[in-house]
Amino acid sequence: MSKLDPRVLRLSRKLGEQIRFAREAAGLSQNAVAKIIGMSRTNYARIEYGKTNVTIESLLKIADGVGFKLNVELLPGGRGSSRRT
């Protein structure tokens, strides 16, 4: 089994923090959001804690469930990037 890229762990944790922020801003518990989106509270909590990879479909459901908009951004400068001249 290959070792997980540390960037995946960092991004999962950051995403989980943002999801928790949105949930708390909406005044909802983990259990309430899990029910709204049709997921177990345990699986939802794993997303918030950055312990699992989350699908785009689940991200959309979570965003809708807490009344937030999902926004994705890719920025230049990642590993392996090259500049064309």
Give CA–CA dist 80/32, Å, rounded: 41
Task: List the chain pLDDT tens, one digit each, 85 residues.
Answer: 458 889 999 999 999 999 999 999 999 999 999 999 999 999 999 999 999 999 999 999 999 999 999 998 888 987 765 555 4
Query: Which pLDDT score, from 0 to 100, does residue 4 have?
Result: 80
Architecture of domain 6-66: Orthogonal Bundle (1.10)
Q: How far is residue 82 CA from its own chain's centroid?
A: 28
Q: Which two tokens stand for residue 63?
A: 């965003």
Structure confidence at residue 85 (pLDDT): 46
Would you list the domain boundaries of the chain? Answer: 6-66
